[in-house]
């Protein structure tokens, strides 16, 4: 995957939220629905996209499919992005990037 494809996959805030939750430990769709407040179909759609991008992996456990990040580096990167965004926000003083 190239950088553009990777960034396109994580640009969506719902996908980043899902990545953060599954980065804390394996979760099934039902758990992610409860944690995110999103509809089951939307969570499944985002998980499919994240899996297609190689950012999450899945495994079957009985009747459930459990999802986890494919690398701990993903959560570290998302945390760092949040830190940088917060520091830049202070410099931007109310201006918004368009």
The domain limits of the chain are 3-92
Residue ranges in the chain modelled with pLDDT below 50: none
**Alpha-carbon separation of residue 30 from 26, 43, 72, 78, 79 (angstroms):** 12, 9, 22, 23, 24
Domain 3-92 has CATH 1.10.287.610: no
Q: What is the pLDDT of residues 65-93, one digit of tens each?
A: 999 999 999 999 999 999 998 888 777 66
Position 1 scores a pLDDT of 78
Position 94 scores a pLDDT of 66
Question: What would you report as the CA-atom Rg of the chain, rounded to the nearest whole angstrom?
Answer: 15
């Amino acid at each position: 995957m190239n950088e553009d494809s990777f960034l396109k996959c994580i640009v969506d805030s719902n996908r980043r939220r899902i990545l953060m939750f599954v980065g804390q430990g394996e979760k099934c769709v039902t758990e992610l629905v409860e944690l995110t407040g999103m509809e089951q179909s939307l969570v499944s759609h985002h998980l499919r996209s994240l899996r297609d991008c190689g950012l999450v992996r899945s495994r079957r456990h009985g009747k459930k499919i459990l999802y986890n990040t494919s690398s701990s580096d993903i959560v570290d990167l998302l945390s760092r992005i949040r830190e940088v965004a917060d520091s830049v926000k202070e410099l931007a003083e109310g201006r918004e990037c368009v």
